[in-house]
Chains A and B, each alone.
Chain A
Amino acid sequence: MMKARRRMYPVLVEPEELLNISSKDVVLIDVRKEEDYIHGHIPDAVSLPLARVLESMDPKQLHRLFRSVGVDDASKYAIVYDDTFGALAARVAWALEYIGHERVSLLSITYGRWVSLGYAVEKGRGKGKGIEQISTVDDNDDTGIDISADYDILATYDYIQAIIEGIKQLQQGKETNINSSSSSNSSIKKGDGDGKVLLDVRERLNYLDHHIPYAMNIPWKAFAGEDRILKSVDEINSLLSYRKISRSDEVIVYCGSVGTLSGLSYYALRLAGYTRVRLYARSLKEWRSLNLPVEGFKNAHYWDLSAE
Chain B
Amino acid sequence: MQKQQDHHRIHIESSENERESWGLPEEVTSVEEMVRLYREGKISEDEFRRFRLQHGMYGSRLNKDYTMVRIKVPAGILYPDQLIRLAKLCEDFSIGSVHVTTRQNIQMHWVYLDDAPAVEKGLVEVGLTSREACGNTVRNVVCSPFAGICRNEPFDVTPYAKALARFFLRNPMCQNLPRKFKFNFACCDEHSYARIADVGLVPVVREEEVSDGNASRKVRGFRVYIGGGLGPASYLAELLEDFTPEDMLLPTCMAVIRLFDRLGDREKVHRNRMRYLVHDMGFERFRELVLKERRIVLMTRSVLANLYIREDKVDAPHTDDIDLVELKPFNAPDGFHRWVKSNVMDQKQKGYAIVFIPLPAGDVTARQLRALASICREFSHEGCVVTTPYQGFALRWVMKSRLVELYKRLSETGLANYGALSIASVVGCTSTTSCNLAITNAHRLAKEIRSRLIELGLDMDDALRDSTIKISGCPNSCGQHMIATIGFFGAAVRMNNTLTPAYNMLLGGKVGKESALGRIVARVPAKRIIDVILRLIDVYRKERLDGEGFASWIDRVLEGNGTNIKSVDDLKPIIEEASKLPSPEEDPESYVDYGSDSRFIVKTARGECAA
A interface residues (Cβ-Cβ under 8 A, vs B): 181-183, 185-186, 203-205, 208, 217, 219, 221-222, 226, 238-239, 242-244, 297, 299-308
Contact = CB atoms under 8 A, between A and B. Distances in A.
Contacts of A301: 431-433, 441, 443-444, 593-596
Interface residues of B, number: 45
Contact of A300 (B61, B88, B365): B61
A302 B118 contact: no
B88 A205 contact: no
A297 B63 CA distance: 9
A221 B92 contact: yes
Given A222-B93, A307-B363, A299 B63 contact: yes
A308 B444 contact: no
B99 A305 contact: yes
Contacts of A226: 88
Given A305-B97, A305-B109, A306-B363, A219 B91 contact: yes
A204 B95 contact: yes
A299 B603 contact: yes
A167 B430 CA distance: 35
A304 B441 contact: yes
Given A304-B595, A307-B364, A186 B65 contact: yes
Given A186-B65, A204-B96, A205-B95, A303 B595 contact: yes
Q: Which one of A203, A204, A219, A243 has the highest number of Cβ atoms from chain B below 10 Å of its Cβ?
A: A204
Given A242-B118, A307-B364, A300 B434 contact: yes
Contact of A302 (B65, B88, B433, B594): B433
A306 B443 contact: no
Given A186-B65, A219-B91, A308 B97 contact: yes
Given A304-B595, A307-B360, A307-B368, 18 more contacts: A183-B64, A186-B65, A204-B95, A219-B92, A221-B92, A222-B92, A222-B93, A226-B88, A239-B115, A242-B35, A242-B114, A300-B434, A301-B431, A301-B593, A302-B434, A304-B433, A305-B95, A308-B96
A308 B366 CA distance: 10
Nearest to B92: A222
B110 A204 contact: yes
A85 B392 CA distance: 30
B550 to A, nearest CB: 27
A244 B117 CA distance: 13
B244 interface: no
Given A299-B62, A308-B365, A221 B118 contact: no
Nearest to B107: A305
Contact of B118 (A205, A239, A303, A305): A239
Contacts of A242: 32, 35, 114-115, 117-118
A304 B109 CA distance: 12
Nearest to B93: A222
B477 interface: no
Given A183-B65, A205-B95, A299-B63, A304 B443 contact: yes
A204 B433 CA distance: 14
B167 interface: no
A244 B39 CA distance: 10
Interface string B24-66: 0000000010010001000000000000000000001111110
Contacts of A203: 95-96
18 contacts: A183-B64, A204-B94, A219-B91, A219-B92, A222-B93, A242-B114, A300-B60, A300-B62, A300-B434, A301-B444, A303-B595, A304-B433, A304-B444, A305-B95, A305-B430, A306-B97, A306-B363, A307-B368
Q: Which one of A204, A238, A300, A303 has the highest number of Cβ atoms from chain B below 10 Å of its Cβ?
A: A300
Contacts of B109: 302, 305
B403 to A, nearest CB: 24
Interface in B354-401: 359-360, 363-365, 368
A305 B63 contact: no
A307 B65 contact: no
Contacts of A205: 95-96, 110
Contacts of B360: 307
Contacts of B61: 299-300
B376 to A, nearest CB: 18
B363 A305 contact: yes
Contacts of B603: 299
B363 A300 contact: no
B433 A300 contact: yes
B447 interface: yes
Nearest to B369: A307
